[in-house]
Amino acid sequence: MKNLIIAIDGPSGAGKGTISRALSEELGYRHIDTGAMYRAVGWLAIHRGIPFDDEAAITALASGADIVVEGGVVAIDGHDVTRAIRTPEIDKTAAAVARLPQVRAVLVARQREIGKRGGVVMEGRDIGTVVFPNADVKIYLDASEEERARRRAGDSAHSGGPVEQKAVAEAIRARDLSDSTRKASPLTLAPDAVHIDTTGMPIGEVVDRVRTLVKDRTPA
Ligand code: DC
């Protein structure tokens, strides 16, 4: 069977992580969370005391760093940052880092290298538009703002404790705005992506739909 490249894009809280993980396990594919790369670079920039507007320094950091985002572990230069990158502070830092075109160029090149042989489910914001415009399957997952905020507020690993849904909704709105209005590769729906609104849909149902799409695209 051909080793497909499956691109899953969409805003935060749309269910990309859960769906990508389930799908990659089912297919025996690698699961690459590209958002975790931007988060890890943001974490390292803080760790090294580099300001976010120093694009040259952060780009050098991103190109020299050893970044691992597989098997449920996120590590950068030997630091296990799996949990440390899921905080409101890193939410903001990652969005700032992701606005820098040169940093994006470095990370996009790495993502292409990782995924070029296929057999990969890659999630992010620009996978179907920029990283792999010829991906075999492109899915854009979305959900209403309320539902995305509800999911994020209930995600204690992310929030570090019970959080006010209103504050989470505001943070999500700010990040959506940053991700969709930035100059470099803003979050947009690829014209050939299948748009799935997951509002009110149980996970199992979303996975079923995605599985069917993948089957339809798999050459016999
Ligand atoms: O998916 P996430 O919330 O972990 O992503 C962290 C940040 O990185 C978020 O602001 C969006 C950005 N991002 C991006 O610009 N391009 C990607 N391919 C993945 C994430």
pLDDT tens sequence across 142-160: 999 888 888 877 765 555 4
Residue 95 one-letter amino acid: A
Q: What is the pLDDT of residues 78-115, one digit of tens each?
A: 999 999 999 989 999 999 999 999 999 999 999 999 99
Q: In a mutational test of the pocket of ligand 1, which residue from 8, 20, 32, 34 has the highest number of ligand atoms less than 8 Å from its CB?
A: 34
Instruction: Give residue 39 CA to ligand 1 midpoint distance, Å.
Output: 8
Residues with CB under 6 A from ligand 1: 12, 34-36, 38-39, 94-95, 98, 124-126, 175, 179
Q: In a mutational test of the pocket of ligand 1, which residue from 31, 38, 126 has the highest number of ligand atoms less than 8 Å from its CB?
A: 38
Crossing angle for the helix pair 55-64 and 34-47, to the nearest 10 degrees: 120
The per-residue pLDDT for 176 is: 87
Angle ∠(73,110,87) on CA atoms, nearest 5: 40
Helix (H) or strand (E) holding 120: strand 120-124
What's the CA gap between 56 and 47, in Å, rounded?
A: 17
- Which residue's alpha carbon is at the smallest distance from atom 4 of ligand 1? 35
Q: What is the pLDDT of residues 162-171, one digit of tens each?
A: 556 778 888 8
Q: 8 or 88: whose pLDDT is higher?
A: 8
Rg, the chain, Cα only: 17
- Whole-number percent of the chain with pLDDT over 70: 94
CB atoms within 10 A of CB 200: 9
Query: 3-class secondary structure for 153-211?
Result: HCCHHHHCCCCCHHHHHHHHHHHHHHHHHCCCCCCCCCCCCEEEECCCCCHHHHHHHHH
